[in-house]
């Protein structure tokens, strides 16, 4: 076989890149349709998006998020807190990128024990109705979840902030924290990104 002849395809190598892109695009379209249906109330019970941030499982209310995008280049902001990663250009809008794990005093989102690969990481923008142009950096997006089908867990004492006060266990012994982004943006410390 000479250099001009392509090597035969090995069926164990997986689908060609074009098919993978098509599958990913189809998955994103389906997820967007389901998110829009949930926001309009058409999909009762499916109200949250499951994500991993800093090795922990979180649920995001679909009515409080905008879109899910692949990470964009982030420009650091001088004298910003470590959890404020900087600004990214998302569809022409400058969007602040937040590392929620660092915000909570934990190792950064991508340094968590079950951090996703760079290909799995996503930015999840806040809904415009929250009036805060920012996005959370997620290690992985796990898909739609329904907290009403999980077992509610009592949060001990006053240990959790109002925006993370509800926790649930699923049938696979995973603990999920429901993030209330509307409460998070009202927290005074969240608006203080600079020193």
Q: Which domains does the chain have, with CATH numbers?
A: 45-191 (2.40.50.180)
99 alpha carbon, distance to own chain's centre: 10
- The four Cα atoms 56, 61, 65, 68 give a dihedral, to 10 degrees, of 50
Please name the residues in contact with 29: beta carbons below 8 A apart, sequence gap of 6 or more. none
- The pLDDT value given to residue 6: 44
- The pLDDT value given to residue 195: 84
Q: CA-to-CA distance for 165 and 176, rounded, in angstroms?
A: 11
- The pLDDT value given to residue 115: 56
- The pLDDT value given to residue 130: 96
Tokens of 103: 């915000």
- The pLDDT value given to residue 20: 59
- pLDDT per residue, tens digit, the chain (195 aa), is 454 444 444 444 455 666 556 667 667 766 776 666 666 554 455 689 999 999 999 999 999 999 999 999 999 999 999 999 999 999 999 999 999 999 999 887 654 444 567 889 999 999 999 999 999 999 999 999 999 999 999 877 667 899 999 999 999 999 999 999 999 999 999 999 988
Reduce the secondary structure of the chain to three states and give it as a string: CCCCCCCCCCHHHCCCHHHHHHHHHHHHHHHHHHHHHHHCCCCCCCCEEEEEECCEEEEEEHHHEEEEECCCCEECCCCECCCEEEEEEECCEEEEEECHHHHCCCCCHHHCCCCCCCCCCEEEEECHHHCCCEEEEECEEEEEECHHHCEEECCCCCCCCHHHCEEEECCCCCEEEEECHHHHHHCHHHHCCEC
- The pLDDT value given to residue 147: 93
- The pLDDT value given to residue 12: 47
- The pLDDT value given to residue 31: 73
């Amino acid at each position: 076989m000479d250099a001009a002849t392509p090597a035969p395809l090995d069926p164990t190598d997986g689908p060609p890149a074009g098919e993978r892109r098509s599958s990913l695009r189809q998955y994103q379209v389906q997820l967007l349709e389901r998110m829009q249906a949930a926001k309009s109330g058409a999909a009762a019970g499916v109200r949250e998006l499951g994500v991993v941030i800093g090795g922990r499982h979180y649920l995001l209310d679909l009515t409080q998020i905008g879109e899910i995008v692949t990470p964009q280049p982030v420009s650091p902001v001088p004298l910003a807190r470590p959890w404020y990663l900087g600004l990214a250009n998302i569809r022409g809008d400058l969007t602040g990128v937040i590392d929620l794990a660092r915000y909570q005093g934990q190792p950064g989102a991508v340094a968590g024990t079950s951090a996703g690969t760079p290909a799995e990481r996503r930015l999840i923008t806040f809904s415009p109705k929250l009036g805060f142009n920012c996005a959370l950096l997620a290690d992985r997006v796990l898909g739609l979840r329904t907290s009403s089908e999980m077992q509610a867990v009592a949060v001990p004492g006053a240990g959790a902030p109002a925006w993370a006060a509800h926790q649930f266990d699923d049938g696979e012994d995973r603990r999920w924290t429901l993030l209330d982004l509307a409460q998070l943006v009202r927290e005074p410390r969240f608006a203080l990104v600079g020193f």
